[in-house]
Amino acid sequence: MKLTGKSIIGFREGAAGSEDFHATNPKTGERLPQDFFSASPQEIDTAVNLAHEAFAIYSRISGREKAVFLRAIATNIEAIANEIIELAEAETALPKARLQGEVGRTCGQLRLFAQVVEEGSWTTPRIDRADPDRKPAPKPDIRSMLRSLGPVVVFGASNFPLAFSVAGGDTASALAAGNPVIFKAHPAHPGTSELVGQALRDAVRECNLPKGVFSLLFDRGNEVGTALLKHPLVKAAAFTGSRLAGKILMGIAAGRPEPIPFYAEMSSVNPVFILPEALRHHAETIASGLHISFTLGAGQFCTKPGMVFLPEGEDASSFLTQLQKSVGGSSPFHLLTGAIQSSYRSGLVARKAKKSLRLLAENQHSDPGQSVGAALFETDAHSLLKDPELAEEIFGPATLLVRHSDRNELLEAARSLEGHLTATIHGTEQDLDDFSDLIAILERKVGRLVLNGFPTGVEVSHAMVHGGPYPATSDGRSTSVGSQAIFRFARPVCYQGFPNAALPEELKDDNPSNVWRMVDGEMTREPISRTQK
């Protein structure tokens, strides 16, 4: 594959505009050679119109055909995996092993959605059969299932240049549900984006799908994304990024003449609760796991544990000793972009200036230009309740220990939490009995509760929920990871009094696609007769 630096608009290249930009190698600070060009307003409009045209066809192809397409994307990505990984390493400073894992995760995601749409029950078909003899009025035949929404805009995330970028979870789930995607590439890894975009575009072509099923637009700032979100033919959008940007985009989506579903996964501090018995018996294991978790990917995961509650007193000493040692001795980290670097650095400066915080450990290193060190702070629950700033996310390898003097203080702190993606509890059986009310409080605050584990490492599976109440996401009823992510890009449509011939396959009497359906209130895969028994 050859980089062009130009947007991919259906099967065409965008023109080279005047606004160009470059990726930077975060390890060296060097500018990478390839020129990239922001999409023009005309190109944005063309991409959306192509998507709108493609929707008429793409929304009606079968699950089997969509599965072939999703698998073709995975195959095409794997064919150029080495090239992608090499460029992604230069653009993101993420280590090769991590990027290899991310290629695997991305292709695994595509294949999971292929499996889901091939099987077809995700469309949630429901059939209430007619009863012509019902009094006072005959009961009509009523059937419903999920249908796709229309063109979906996906914003690439900086921290997952593959799994939450061009062919990542948002794109995969939107395509799986039957929606064309217009992808706004993240300017920090444009080359990686283009390579994956070419692989995706080629899959569209190989599967004889309409060209508008996928476009990729470059933008060095935020004008392209804003224009896409405002476009009247766009019917939904997904975003992963900062709370600031997410909130601005939420306002745009809600303020359109036709408001549209907008799924932003914005920010989360992912509180961890270490309960007394667990601290007493497993201090070192927890400390070691916590250190790995909050520094994984240089602390640039949305599920990084950024706040750790533990009791005051002697039992914490071996935990603290080990954690301080690990943090002090850790290697320097390279962050994804210059902006993230300076924001991390200023975050540390601000925390160090807080009287209510103590710096317990910091990794000092000799390369202050391009790398940063891990940091460990401590405060108490009382200070946290008084100063909500302490609960804000610092994107990077830092975390905050919050000591509490008793059970009530802990529960009060838990009740004061805003919405997060995850909450983690370390506890023995005894602890869980003693703190069952803590679980009840946290259930209302997060999308995922983790017991005796760590929140990083989000499984891509059927039961995963990577979501959570605002402000963790814009819509706490959804997940952006796992097969349930597909439900974000569909809505139910009901067919009353339709003959078999005019119904979608999933709703036909004889159930040719063998999907699970709710028939007169009961789950079944059996074919049905037209009227009730």
- Indicate if 265 belongs to the active site: yes
Dist. CA 427–CA 117, nearest whole Å: 39
469 lies in the binding site for a second copy (CB under 8 A): yes
Does 531 sit near a second copy (CB under 8 A)?
Answer: no
Q: Where in 511-530 is the site for a second copy (CB under 8 A)?
A: 516, 518, 520-521, 523
Interaction between residue 258 and a second copy (CB under 8 A)? yes
> What tokens does 499 get?
């003959």
* Matching residue, tokens 């950024």: 306
- Give yes or no for residue 475 binding a second copy (CB under 8 A): yes
d(CA 507, CA 376): 57
Q: Which range touches a second copy (CB under 8 A), out of 27-35, 179-187, 360-368, 464-472?
A: 464-472
List for the chain the helix, strand, coil content (%; round to 5). Answer: 40, 20, 40
Spell out the residues 6+ positions from residue 501 whose beta carbon is closer than 8 angstroms to its own. none
Residues 6+ away with beta carbon under 8 Å from 279: 286, 310, 311, 315, 316, 319, 426
Contacting residue, 321, 462, 500, 512, with a second copy by CB under 8 A? 462
Asked if 367 touches a second copy (CB under 8 A), the answer is no
Structure tokens at 266: 């914005």
Q: Is 499 in the site for a second copy (CB under 8 A)?
A: yes
Angle at 394 between CA 391 and CA 395, to 5 degrees: 140
Residue count at the site for a second copy (CB under 8 A)? 78
Cα distance between residue 242 and residue 347, in whole Å: 15
Q: Which of 385, 495, 528, 532 binds a second copy (CB under 8 A)?
A: 495
Q: Is 269 in the site for a second copy (CB under 8 A)?
A: no
State how far the Cα of 209 lies from the Cα of 456, in Å rounded to an integer: 37
> What burial class does residue 255 get, using C-beta atoms within 10 Å of its C-beta: 0-12 exposed, 13-18 middle, 19+ buried?
exposed
449 binds a second copy (CB under 8 A): yes
Q: Determine if 246 is a binding residue for a second copy (CB under 8 A).
A: no
Active-site residue, selected from the candidate residues 43, 102, 118, 265: 265
Instruction: Rank residues 260 and 376 by Cβ distance to a second copy and give the closer one.
Output: 260
Considering the complex, what minimum distance in angstroms separates the CB of residue 270 from a second copy?
12
Q: Which of 28, 329, 451, 527 binds a second copy (CB under 8 A)?
A: 451
**Choices 226-234, 318-326, 382-390, 428-436; region in contact with a second copy by CB under 8 A:** 428-436
User: What distance in Å separates the CA atoms of residue 353 and residue 360, rounded to the nearest whole number?
Assistant: 14
CB of 296 to a second copy, least distance (A): 12
| Shortest spacing between CB 315 and a second copy, in angstroms | 22
The answer to whether residue 452 forms part of the interface with a second copy (CB under 8 A) is yes
Shortest Å distance, C-beta 126 to a second copy: 4
Q: Does 509 contact a second copy by CB under 8 A?
A: no
**Binding residues for a second copy restricted to 84-103, rule: CB under 8 A:** 101
Among 471, 480, 506, 508, binds a second copy (CB under 8 A): 471
Task: Measure the CA angle with vertex 246, ends 309 and 90; round to 5°.
Answer: 85
Minimum distance of a second copy from residue 35's CB (angstroms): 38
Two tokens, residue 367: 């390369």
**Within 10 Å of residue 21's Cβ, how many Cβ atoms?**
17
Candidates 406, 443, 510, 526; binder of a second copy (CB under 8 A) is 443
| DSSP letters spanning 86-143 | HHHHHHH---HHHHHHHHHHHHHHHHHHHHHHHH-GGG--EEE-BBTT-SSSPBPPEE
Site for a second copy in 138-177 (CB under 8 A): 139-140, 142-144, 147, 149-150
| Closest CB to a second copy among residues 63, 191 | 63
With CB under 8 A as the contact rule, the residue among 284, 444, 527, 531 that binds a second copy is 444
User: Which residue of 3, 248, 385, 439 would you call a contact of a second copy, by CB under 8 A?
Assistant: 439
C-alpha distances (whole Å) from 459 to each of 101, 145, 306 are 13, 28, 20
For residue 321, what are the contacts with CB-CB under 8 A and spacing of at least 6? none
**119-138 binders of a second copy (CB under 8 A):** 121, 126-128, 136-137
Beta carbon nearer to a second copy, 364 or 529: 529
Q: Give the 3-state secondary structure of residue 429.
A: helix
Please tell me whether residue 350 binds a second copy under the rule CB under 8 A. no
By C-beta, is 95 or 453 nearer to a second copy? Answer: 453
- Taking the least distance from each CB to a second copy, the nearer of 91 and 277 is 277
Residues whose CB falls within 8 Å of the CB of residue 322, separated by 6 or more in sequence, listed in order: 283, 284, 287, 288
The answer to the question of residue 533 lying near a second copy (CB under 8 A) is no
| Subset of residues 8 to 37 that bind a second copy, contact rule: CB under 8 A | none
Catalytic residue among 302, 362, 409, 506, which?
A: 302
Shortest Å distance, C-beta 113 to a second copy? 12
Helix axes 63-79, 96-119, angle to 10 degrees: 160
Closest separation in Å from C-beta 482 to a second copy = 8
Whether 53 is catalytic: no
